[in-house]
Chain A
Amino acid sequence: MNIKIALAGNPNCGKTTLYNAITGSTEYVGNRPGVTVEEKEAKLKWNKEVIIMDLPGIYSLSPYTSEEVISREYIIEKTPDVILNVVDGSNIERNLYLTTQLIETGIPVVIGLNMMDIVNKSGDVIDISKLEKTLDCPVIPISALKGTGLKEVCEKAVKMAESKKTSNIKIFSNKIENYISQTKELIKDIDFTISKKWFAVKIFENDEEIIKTLNLNNNKKSILDNIISSAEKDFDDDTESIITNERYTFIEKTVASAVKKGSKEKLSFSDKIDKIVTNRIAALPIFAVVMFIVYYISVTSIGSDLTDWANDGVFGDGWHLPFTTEKYNESVENFENAQLKIDTFKSAALENGIDTEAFEEQMEAEEPDISVINEFIEKTKYIKAEPIDNNAFTTAVKEKDFPKINIFVAAAEANEIPADVFKEEIESENPNQEIINSFIADTKDIVSEEVDNFAFVEALEIEEPNPEEFGIWVPGIPVLAESALDSINASEWVKSLVLDGIIGGVGAVLGFVPQILILFFLLAILEDCGYMARIAFILDRIFRKFGLSGKSFIPVIVGTGCGVPGIMASRTIENNNDRRLTIMTTTFIPCGAKLPIIALIAGALFKNAGWVAPSAYFLGIFAIIFSGIVLKRLQAFKGDPAPFVMELPAYHFPAVKGLFIHMWDKGKAFIKKAGTIIFLACAVIWFLQSFNLNLEMVENAEDSMLASLGKIIAPLFKPLGFGNWEASVATVTGLVAKENVVGTFGVLYGVEDVAENGVEYWAMLREAFTPVTAYAFLAFNLLCAPCFAAIGAIRREMASFKWTVFAIIYQTLLAYVAALLINLWGTAIWLNGSFAAPIILTIIIIGFILFIFINSSKKTVPITA
């Protein structure tokens, strides 16, 4: 027979460390998401018949927080055979408060008295046997961190479960016990899974949820009301408070008899740290530094390296083992540079009337004739390829001086300025002057390198690097999948589905996994060592003004790297409303994948003006603050008032094993999501992009269903100024991953191999957009529904379909209104449009906001003392 042990205790009492130590992380038998927390079950390490159930950390079994509700529902419905109550010995008074409630359930309780090392250090002495006697249940000193006493406490728990021995202590005074007996009479005919007394106390406390489930008839209800009101008269307090007072009175007595306080009043280790960390002057700078370190490690340095590896290596062409791909890439670049020099020099030689044909022949030969090459070197001794700058190039274009043009174009290409479109034009009979001019403008800082005979000889000596010399080349998943599909002769559409649709889409998402793991590792450190609570303490005042919590800052900071971990970082916010609001607003801040969109618009329409990128961040911050202020006024976000009553746990070093488990747990949740929602979404987008309405596969996305869809939804964007179907389609594909917006334009404009900032089609973009509509497009894409990965994360963290839909609709609506305002005002101010429309719209919006404010202040009931 299986024995079920429920693990219960206050937050920060070391319960999770104990759970990890006695189960072993690989043995999950269940992991189902609750409202804010997950209930976890695992088998005991030493005895597979025993199942350990990890309840959320709670202070009480009252019905006010979701954690408390989950815990008590679990105890009532699943009736564990025994409760293992972890008690923080260094904070025994408050910890025993929960114990008094657990004992009342009538389920055998075993106390694991944790953190005894801290107790000993502080000089306090806890008399275990006295504690056992007053509480009438076994108390076993343990150290979850060091692993001592764990087996013992589990064995004791199993023994207690078998003997079913419950504690028979009297917690309340005679007077109260009398009232509770009267209450008990009312429910004597009802069968309960746990003790009747627990229910009697709860309904005596006027616990509405429990009263509702009991279905008392009217007669009994009025008797209950009578009992409660006479008790309240008796004690001049409400029954809930009477019970709480009595519990603490009992605990005070217990502690007074069993705990001898040490005389030492020295500053503890934790106090010393706290003096610095929450110091009036130093607190904010320290916080900034800590955030910078977290951001730097997880987003910029290690995190971005790992993401590059995952995206370009594992889900790209492949990578080197050991990690020498970077070195290899450097060598390739070096080689390409040398080739450029050789070509430049050859052109110069040609210009000087030296024939290069024989030399070129030898260069391409398997076994080149050294003497021919040497002869060429000798002949070109005094040749020098002069540097060509943009001016010289412009002249060369006018004179159609092709050797010079070619040298300069090659230099431009080496600087990653795409030149295919230009080359095509310049060679055509009637070149499009606009494209030529735009290329000249784009290359204004390019100067081709000076190459003399010496540099030429040097370049000749650089050999093409061989990838195999840089370690073992591990092919990427797409490469492997392609060869696997080829080997089974898969049809084109299957290949496209697997490679472009699934691996391309899901891979883009999974590429973030390493970054997410690092981030969660760092956040776990902050959480475990006790700093997270201080962040809330330090920043609460600022964020409360915007209707957010002090902890909302972390998701936003993390969100500048990637919205997915940002949204997931919101987990540390306990209050449901604050957390929902934070989840909804985190993706307003531009994430890494939105930067290419900013670069595209800034480059194509604003000549790379410096204000565009910062303005995108300000827009995000403004959207967050605006949403905080306005949404908080909505009825949906009111619910129960959110008291900021927070424990500031003592600082301590985190348990390393726990950190890894924590990190993996969250990473796993993300991977699972990528395997389901995101997988499906990518397949759908691929289907729309690859087939036309007759379900025939199309070569070009321009003929696809997605394009037809784009044409249908384009009118929706007309008021925003970018009603062309290309922009609509780009916005839709941005849902897979925001950087797709740039690539999609490329596909739709028929440009292959688009650079990250889409420079190839800037000229075409300038025809489709005005600066105003381009900025509206940018604003819309930054603020609207995030990518599928982030939507998946929202769905997971909200744990509610309704809230997810609300979040997405809200974000898209806000984006729409913002883009509309930008378009109308921009057109009015800079493009001589009418002022009537923007003014009317602004008045409507202000009116709407005022309506929300007035409406909400009416409903607020002032708290009367």
Chain B
Amino acid sequence: MKTLKDVKSGDNVIVEKISCTGSLKRRIMDMGITKGTNIYVRKLAPLGDPIELTVRGYELSLRKSDAENIIVK
């Protein structure tokens, strides 16, 4: 099971499932990360965390601890 946390920068992945619940899940989904969404991992912050993604044509940043809840393939 691969999560978004493990994806190298520069890679494209597709969301399979969001494993957390509650407000965190809702917030992640509201921002456009839903099942089947294509995510491009742009880069890591200078200190290694958070990560920057391109989702649905815009830039979004997520902490690695939150990205761990997004299962991708």
Binding site for B on A (CB under 8 A): 59-60, 62, 64, 90-94, 97, 238, 240-241, 244-245, 248, 278-281, 283-284, 533, 537-542, 544, 640-641, 643-650, 863, 865
Contact = CB atoms under 8 A, between A and B. Distances in A.
Interface in B17-73: 18-32, 34-35, 37, 43-50, 52, 55-63, 66, 69
B56 A93 contact: yes
Contacts of A544: 63
B34 A644 contact: no
Contact of B31 (A59, A279, A641): A59
B50 A537 contact: yes
B14 to A, nearest CB: 13
15 contacts: A91-B57, A92-B57, A94-B58, A244-B30, A245-B29, A280-B44, A537-B52, A544-B63, A643-B23, A645-B28, A645-B31, A645-B60, A647-B59, A650-B59, A865-B69
Given A645-B62, A647-B60, 14 more contacts: A62-B26, A64-B27, A92-B57, A93-B57, A97-B32, A248-B34, A533-B61, A540-B63, A643-B63, A645-B27, A645-B31, A646-B60, A647-B31, A863-B20
Interface residues of B, number: 38
Nearest to B44: A280
B58 to A, nearest CB: 5
B28 A643 contact: yes
Contacts of B66: 643-645
Contacts of A93: 32, 56-57
B6 to A, nearest CB: 15
Given A59-B30, A60-B30, A645-B27, A540 B45 contact: yes
Nearest to B31: A645
Nearest to B68: A865
B9 to A, nearest CB: 11
Contacts of B57: 90-94
Interface string B1-25: 0000000000000000011111111
Nearest to A270: B59
Given A62-B26, A645-B66, A94 B31 contact: yes
A280 B46 contact: yes
A248 B46 contact: no
B61 A279 contact: no
Contacts of A241: 18, 25, 29, 34
B55 to A, nearest CB: 8
Nearest to A641: B24
Given A241-B25, A648-B61, A537 B32 contact: no
Contact of B30 (A92, A97, A644): A97
Contacts of B23: 64, 640-641, 643
B30 A62 contact: yes
Nearest to B52: A648
Contact of A244 (B19, B34, B44): B34
Given A643-B23, A647-B59, A648-B59, A541 B28 contact: no
Nearest to B30: A60
Contacts of B35: 245
Contact of A647 (B19, B25, B58, B63): B58
Contact of B45 (A91, A244, A538): A538
Contacts of A91: 56-58
B34 A278 contact: no
B67 to A, nearest CB: 10
Nearest to B35: A245
Contact of A540 (B18, B37, B49): B49
Nearest to A259: B57
Contacts of B59: 647-650
Interface of B: 18-32, 34-35, 37, 43-50, 52, 55-63, 66, 69
Contacts of B30: 59-60, 62, 97, 244
Given A91-B58, A644-B61, A645-B66, A248 B26 contact: no
Nearest to B29: A244
Nearest to A275: B43
Interface centre among B25, B59, B60 (most CB of A within 10 A): B59
A547 to B, nearest CB: 14
Nearest to A247: B34
B41 to A, nearest CB: 13
A613 to B, nearest CB: 30
A278 B50 CA distance: 12
Contacts of A97: 30, 32
Contacts of A278: 43, 45-46, 52
A544 B18 CA distance: 24
Contact of B26 (A240, A245, A647, A648): A240
B45 A648 contact: no
B29 to A, nearest CB: 4
Contacts of B18: 241
Contacts of B47: 538-539, 541-542
Contacts of A62: 26-27, 30
Given A540-B63, A646-B61, A647-B31, A94 B46 contact: no
Contacts of A540: 45, 49-50, 63
A97 B43 CA distance: 26
Nearest to B49: A541
A64 B26 contact: yes
A648 B31 CA distance: 12
Contact of A94 (B49, B56, B61): B56
Contact of A541 (B45, B55, B56): B45
A64 B24 CA distance: 9
Interface centre among A544, A641, A648, A649 (most CB of B within 10 A): A648
Contacts of A248: 32, 34, 37
A293 to B, nearest CB: 20
Leading 8 A-B pairs by shortest Cβ distance: A93-B56, A648-B59, A60-B30, A541-B47, A283-B46, A64-B23, A244-B29, A644-B63
B37 to A, nearest CB: 8
B34 A865 contact: no
A541 B49 CA distance: 6
B51 to A, nearest CB: 9
B2 to A, nearest CB: 14
A291 to B, nearest CB: 15
B38 to A, nearest CB: 11
Nearest to B43: A278
A644 B48 CA distance: 15
B5 to A, nearest CB: 13
A289 to B, nearest CB: 15
B26 A244 contact: yes
B47 to A, nearest CB: 4
B8 to A, nearest CB: 15
A245 B60 contact: no
Contacts of B49: 540-541
Nearest to B24: A643
Given A537-B52, A646-B61, A284 B46 contact: yes
A865 B44 CA distance: 25
A255 to B, nearest CB: 9
A94 to B, nearest CB: 5
A284 B46 CA distance: 8
Interface centre among B18, B19, B35, B61 (most CB of A within 10 A): B61
A164 B46 CA distance: 52
A244 B18 CA distance: 12
A540 B63 CA distance: 9
A643 B27 CA distance: 8
Nearest to B45: A537
Nearest to B53: A648
A594 B28 CA distance: 44
Nearest to B26: A62
Contacts of B63: 540, 544, 643-644
A97 B37 CA distance: 14
A62 B31 CA distance: 12
B43 to A, nearest CB: 7
A645 B60 CA distance: 7
Contacts of B28: 643, 645
A542 B27 CA distance: 23
